[in-house]
A and B are shown apart, each in its own frame.
Chain A
Amino acid sequence: MSSSENKQMGWAIALHGGAGDIPLSLPPERRQPREEALRHCLQIGVEALKAKLPPLDVVERVVRELENIPQFNAGKGSVLTSKGSVEMEASIMDGTTMNCGAVSGLTTVVNAISLARLVMEKTPHIYLAFDGAEEFARQQGVEIVDSSHFITAENIERLKHAKEANRVQIDYTQPVQNDTKKETTIANGDSQIGTVGCVAVDGNGNLAAATSTGGLVNKMVGRIGDTPVIGAGTYADARCAVSATGKGEAIIRGTVARDVAALIEFKGLTLEEAAACVVHERTPKGTVGLIAVSAKGEVAMPFNTTGMFRACATEDGYSEIAIWPAAKIE
């Protein structure tokens, strides 16, 4: 479906590096690299859209970049399972065709989102996981490395801390430090960040969404979250594209990404209304954030957590990089 008989609405893009209990006191040495990364990835996406790349290619490219950045919980920088291993997952969806691809349980694949796309394009299936996905990766000749490549010192520390607290950290903020009285918010499991994602639309209304993650700190081996689940962490159709982040279990239960699109299609809500409804009325506070774009070139980035690493831009010149609600950096 294309809106070629409609006036051109313009392209739009949004991306996220995770929603969660990101403390306002986040020290500069932690905040700035992430802001810079968001700026960098936004620029990559904007340039790709300006060069008329299809949104499906744009979201894959941006998520690859986010996966490669160790500060975010995807690819390099993925959080660790209860056994200290890495298990990465991702999904991608093309709103024009409704084709989708997903992968879970990856341990050596440098870019999970690209393997998800290959599942979509090179197999009769949508979703491959664990040994079968790793085998497919080798058949396809995608870039693979020793799984130690993905593990960062920060995440080893996060796992240690979570084990001490005997808890599955839904996600993470920062490793524990001396004066972290505020940090004890981790102790009650409130600290939440994780997952990266990107949604994009071109001037013809073609939409795409992509999401990628390392999952939960201290998760059980074999645990799958919302990120590879079509309709939960990722969704795109002819009306909108959505990528969600936060507590995976809440996002699955709330079929978050699908619900945004369903509210638009079945109830006639606008993108803004639908996204706000799902995040603020249909999911528990402190669990979810999402980014979404519509076929008309609108953007929405609601979250019910303390913050969400995010960036967006539209063809009319608007752009934003932000972490907390009103703390726009530019």
Chain B
Amino acid sequence: MGWAIALHGGAGDIPVSLPPEHRQPREEALRHCLQIGVDALQGKMHPLDVVELVVRELENIPHFNAGRGSVLTNKGTIEMEASIMDGRTKKCGAVSGLKTVVNAISLARLVMEKTPHIYLAFDGAEEFAKEQGVETVDPSHFITAENVERLHHAKEANIVQIDYSTQPLQNGTKKETSVVANGDSQLGTVGCVAVDSNGNLASATSTGGLVNKMVGRIGDSPIIGGGTYANELCAVSATGKGEAILRATVARDVAALMEFKGFSLMEAANCVVHERTPKGTVGLVAVSAAGEVATPYNTTGMFRACATEDGYSEVAIWSAS
């Protein structure tokens, strides 16, 4: 069967005209993170460790909406969330409302392994982080000039940007204003799914949430069955409009279609994305116990990368690129 890995840096209305100075660093980052994941799998690292490792890397990269580079709340603050799930044991961990924790995904894993609970949030999660001695920094660490500008723009347009478009508003961005103004611009969340040659599956998702979101707003990323899910059949990580993903229980439904209807991974992933969620709202990455990969999205694009043991690999943003 072989190992397989897929990762994403967010689905959304990523303009095909994305200038090179914005596109290339992200492609390079996807390539870099894919390599880390592939090396780990080739080194026989367990998929749970692999997805955590890759998502940590994505969190640390400021071009994606997680960890450093997280979008801002309507008060200009950071509130990060994440979840992780081990397909074989169905154990999972989740966190929300983090302000100082450098790697939310690792704290989610610690909740899973060091507490009798699955999900910790806000002050309680921050307190747990201190007890565990994980790396914390001043919240300003996560804030980038791009995101300050995105928030400013969203406030001017008086909208909650479901995610953020790829670039902050610039002079010649007529496309930018129309796209953002009707709330279509969507990017956000990072995630990784992996399977080893023994069929062990794992999924991890992490995000800063929505630009201009209400303080305390939780999206799909920390919700087991929403943005993250893994069982013995597949592992899924979703991205896009959090509210649409929650409503459609996206990650769970991919696995449920496989289990209850006998769909293949590809059929199940395509069904959820193209038939069960509104266009322009969702993308996902998924791997199956058999080592298959699916990366469907119903948005303009999705930053993604994947590789399988038989040598296939891909780094892409739009279709056929």
Contacts and interface: CB of A to CB of B under 8 A. Distances in A.
Is B a genuine binding partner of A? yes
Interface of A: 98-100, 102, 104-105, 123-133, 135-136, 168, 219-225, 229-232, 235, 248-249, 252-255, 258-259, 262-263, 266-267
Contacts of A132: 214-217
Given A224-B119, A231-B226, A266-B256, A130 B97 contact: yes
B135 to A, nearest CB: 19
Contacts of B249: 230-231, 235, 255, 258
A253 B118 contact: yes
Q: Main secondary structure on chain A at its contact with chain B? A: mixed
A267 B224 contact: no
A98 B226 CA distance: 14
B76 to A, nearest CB: 14
A222 B213 CA distance: 20
A234 to B, nearest CB: 11
Max chain A Cβ within 10 angstroms of own Cβ: one of B218, B229, B243, B248: B218
Nearest to B116: A168
B65 to A, nearest CB: 17
A255 B224 CA distance: 8
A133 B216 CA distance: 6
B260 A222 contact: no
Nearest to B122: A130
Given A229-B223, A253-B224, A262-B256, A130 B247 contact: no
A131 B118 contact: no
A100 B243 CA distance: 9
A130 B125 CA distance: 12
A130 B249 CA distance: 23
A99 B117 contact: no
A119 to B, nearest CB: 9
A263 B122 contact: no
B254 to A, nearest CB: 11
A135 B216 CA distance: 9
A249 B216 contact: no
Interface string B80-114: 00000000001110101100000000000000000
A238 to B, nearest CB: 13
B184 interface: no
Contact of A129 (B92, B121, B229, B256): B121
Interface residues of B, number: 44
A220 B120 contact: yes
A133 B224 CA distance: 21
28 contacts: A100-B246, A105-B121, A125-B243, A128-B214, A128-B218, A132-B216, A221-B123, A222-B121, A222-B123, A223-B117, A224-B118, A224-B119, A224-B121, A229-B223, A230-B247, A231-B246, A231-B249, A231-B252, A232-B225, A248-B118, A249-B117, A252-B92, A252-B224, A252-B225, A255-B229, A258-B253, A263-B260, A266-B261
Contacts of B229: 255
Give the 10 A-B residue pairs with the shortest CB-CB distance, closest first. Answer: A222-B124, A132-B216, A266-B260, A132-B215, A221-B124, A224-B119, A127-B218, A130-B122, A231-B225, A231-B249
Given A125-B243, A231-B225, A267-B260, A222 B215 contact: no
Given A128-B217, A223-B124, A224-B121, 16 more contacts: A100-B247, A126-B243, A127-B219, A127-B246, A220-B120, A221-B123, A224-B96, A224-B119, A229-B224, A229-B225, A252-B92, A253-B91, A255-B252, A258-B252, A259-B256, A262-B252
Nearest to A230: B246
B128 interface: yes
B42 interface: no
Contacts of B123: 130, 221-222
B267 interface: no
B253 A135 contact: no
Contacts of B217: 123, 125, 127-128, 132
B117 A219 contact: yes
B225 A123 contact: no
Contacts of A232: 224-225
Contacts of A221: 123-124, 127
B194 interface: no
A130 B218 CA distance: 10
Contact of A104 (B121, B127, B128, B253): B121
A83 to B, nearest CB: 9
B127 A131 contact: no
B66 to A, nearest CB: 18
Max chain B Cβ within 10 angstroms of own Cβ: one of A98, A99, A126: A126
A159 to B, nearest CB: 15
Contact of A123 (B90, B214, B252): B214
A131 B260 contact: no
B41 interface: no
Nearest to A139: B214
A323 B96 CA distance: 36
B119 A225 contact: yes
Contact of B122 (A98, A105, A253, A266): A105
A77 to B, nearest CB: 22
A249 to B, nearest CB: 5
A110 to B, nearest CB: 19
Contacts of B121: 104-105, 129-130, 222, 224
Contacts of B215: 131-132, 135
B225 A255 contact: yes
A130 B216 contact: yes
B118 A249 contact: yes
A254 B231 CA distance: 10
B125 A222 contact: yes
Contacts of B124: 220-223
A80 to B, nearest CB: 14
Contacts of B180: none
B247 A253 contact: no
